[in-house]
Structure 1
Amino acid sequence: MGRKAGGLFINPKRFGTLHKPCMKEMIMFLNCMATSHDNAEVCARQKELLNTCMESQSKKNRKSWGSINYHLQRLNRGRK
């Protein structure tokens, strides 16, 4: 269960840090919770912004293209 020598491969974990769409909203919510001593009523606005961002990023709304390595293998087959 390994890869062939000389094949194309990209480690997807290395590029996982490039796109974090709701990071700003999450940081705002956590900062609010920390300053208000875990009082959820005070941070209702930040919580709503975070929920809206997370719902917009759900996988139901996106079309799956498969992994990058799958597409690299397809390209490699076409070269031979």
Structure 2
Amino acid sequence: MGRKAGGLYINSKKFGALHKPCMKEMISFLNCLALNHNNDDKCVRQKELLSACMDSQTGKSGKSFGSINYHLQRLNRGRK
């Protein structure tokens, strides 16, 4: 039920933490909400920045090159 012994494998969850495009905007919006007791009328600017960032991310495709582990398995197959 697992991987074969001796195969190449990279834990892709470690690399997922590297690319978080709208994290700064989301943190500033949540901090503003916390400071203003969940009153989002006072956090309009941070909300607009977060919305703009999220809208700009929707046009980008996610993984167009496939899984890194898939490519490692392909390379390993060709080596044998």
TM-score by length of 2: 0.84
Q: CA RMSD in A?
A: 1.6
Which residue of structure 2 lines up, in the alignment, with residue 48 of structure 1? 48
Q: Partners of 2:51 and 2:64 in 1: how far apart?
A: 22
**Which stretches in structure 2 are left out of the alignment for 5+ residues?**
none
- Deviation string for 1:20-56 (max 9, x for gaps)? 1111101110111111111111111111111111222
TM-score by length of 1: 0.84
Q: Partners of 2:7 and 2:54 in 1: how far apart?
A: 36
The percent of aligned pairs where both chains have the same amino acid is 73
**Which stretches in structure 1 are left out of the alignment for 5+ residues?**
none
Q: Partners of 1:65 and 1:52 in 2: how far apart?
A: 26
TM-superposed CA distance for 1:12, in Å, is: 1.1
Equivalent position SS for 2:40: coil
